[in-house]
Structure 1
Amino acid sequence: MNNPENLTPTQRSQIKRVPQRGNYERQVIYQILDEGLICHLGFAIDNQPFVIPTAYGRVEDQLYIHGSPASRMLRSLITGIEVCLTVTLLDGLVMARSAFHHSMNYRSIVIFGTASVVKDAEEKLEALRAFTEHVVPGRWAEVRQPSRQELQGTLVLSLPLAEASAKIRTGAPLDDEIDYDLPVWAGVVPLQLVAGEAIADSRLQPGITPPTYIQNYTRVHVK
């Protein structure tokens, strides 16, 4: 019986290399997707592989990507070809005592499936809201909403989160036992994406200050 709290691993999504790092919990997959900003979308056309970085947004079990109808990537995806989408968050550099055992702490997602065009107007608008809120939570309510012409000029595709898995590494380096006595520093250098001070547009009207969600912008533990 399928557990609604977990995705069922498939032949493609099953973690085979270091399987103990695999995770199929929906909430873990959601958290990684919601903290990331960019995905890499892989597909093949006439035996030529492509991997394209692009932004995305999530609404429950649907991942959305968007762009111009003239985009080669999007025009290819609407034909129903198989895709592989990945998101990776780098959390630290793992410094071991030997060159061989250096590693990285990370959280990653791999999603397989086929994308479909979002035709329903309400779902399309919700997807565009999700894009904006994914990048900058709180922004959608403050800016001008898309016009009818802008909506018509934007192609939105939906990819179901049905065949996916997470892979996660945490913790200290794992050296060979004989190497623990070496006089070499070992440990973890934590990494995270940090926002700098906001830079105002040169044509910003006087008296407009950055909103709180800009002043306090962070990608850590995004909900």
Structure 2
Amino acid sequence: MTEPATRTPLSPTPRSALNRSKERGATDRAELDAVLDAGLLCHLGVLLGGSPVVIPTTYGREGDTLYLHGSTGAGNLRAAMTGDVSIAVTHLDGVVYARSAMHFSMNYRSAVIHARPVELTDPEERMHGLRVIVEHVAPGAWDAVRSPNKKEMAATMVLALDLTEASVKMRTGGPRDEESDIAAGVAWAGVLPLRQVWDAPIDSADLAAGIEVPEYVRARGAESVSAGF
């Protein structure tokens, strides 16, 4: 993905500034890109009827814009249009075992975004937003499948969110035990890594004979093989 030459840097606001473990925060916007690009699912937080609701949904990023989509009849998306929302993407990389219960932790990469969604109404912009989402989740698929028709587009809402106000936080490494617990040597300490991999594609039960798994699908599995998974 080609990024614009000039981009707004990550600058903390009262909502996005880290209050605890500030040393785990990242200030480079490329770190935000990396967390979002590595994920497939985000959690959208909205106020629905005066109560907080968190919705898991797919997304797509292009430059400093995040795209979401859903049914025009979805109450959560309608609620998202009434004010600011919060979006979170998290990758769990491992469980950190310590010698003391209070020092158990997790290695992770996370991003939290605050923004006011904008509903796209221009037909070309809406189609482009959907393309970004599909290509993020299934690279190479958009040009190989049927494009949305007028009926499908009429039933679909596409939202764009600016990525200016966001925070990135991550943890790596082993446990941060007390010296006295290290010296006592009473328990194992270390990291149990966690990874997510692609498995072999499974044909649809109604797939016509002779249609092979396309290269753009096989390529996803090859990512896991090349990484040694």
Fold shared by both chains (TM-score > 0.5): yes
The alignment status of 1:35 with 2:24, answered yes or no, reads no
Residues in 2 aligned to 1:54 and 1:39: alpha-carbon distance in whole angstroms: 6
* Aligned with 1:26 (options 25, 29, 35): 29
Instruction: Give the aligned partner of residue 53 of structure 2.
Output: 50
Alpha-carbon distance between aligned partners in 2 of 1:189 and 1:212, rounded to the nearest angstrom? 33
Counterpart in 2 of 1:179? 181
- Partners of 1:52 and 1:5 in 2: CA distance: 28
Partner SS state of residue 141, structure 1: helix
Aligned to 1:117: 119
TM superposition score normalised by structure 1? 0.92
The answer for unaligned runs of 5 or more in structure 2 is: 1-5, 225-229
Q: Give the conservation status (yes or no) of the 8 Å contact 1:41–1:84.
A: yes
What is the aligned-residue identity percentage?
Answer: 45
The 5 Å alignment of 1:70-109 reads 70-79=73-82, 81-109=83-111
* Alpha-carbon separation, structure 2, partners of 1:71 and 1:160: 21
Aligned residue for 1:217, secondary structure, equals helix
> Quick one: which amino acid aligns to residue 153 of structure 1?
A
Is the Cα–Cα contact under 8 Å of residues 88 and 112 in structure 2 kept in the other structure?
A: yes
The answer to whether the 8 A contact 2:8-2:164 is kept is: no
Distance 1:121 1:183 in 2: 64
Local SS of the residue matching 1:133: helix
Q: What displacement does 1:129 show?
A: 0.7
| Shift, 1:90, TM fit | 0.6
Who is 1:134 aligned against? 136
Residue in 2 that maps onto 1:195: 198
1: distance between equivalents of 2:126 and 2:10? 26
Q: How far apart are residue 46 of structure 1 and its match?
A: 4.2
* 2:216 is equivalent to residue 209 of structure 1: no
> How far, CA to CA, are the matches of 1:185 and 1:21 in structure 2?
25
Task: Supply the distance in 1 between the matched residues of 2:213 and 2:7 (Cα, whole angstroms).
Answer: 41
Q: CA deviation at 1:52?
A: 1.1
Structure 1 residue runs of 4 or more that deviate by more than 4 Å after TM superposition: none
CA RMSD of aligned residues (A): 1.7
| Residue 184 of structure 1, CA deviation | 2.0
- Counterpart among 70, 78, 84 of residue 67 in structure 1: 70
- Give the length in aligned residue pairs: 217
Q: Tell me the TM-score normalized by structure 2.
A: 0.89
Q: Which runs of 5 or more structure 1 residues have no equivalent in the other structure? A: none
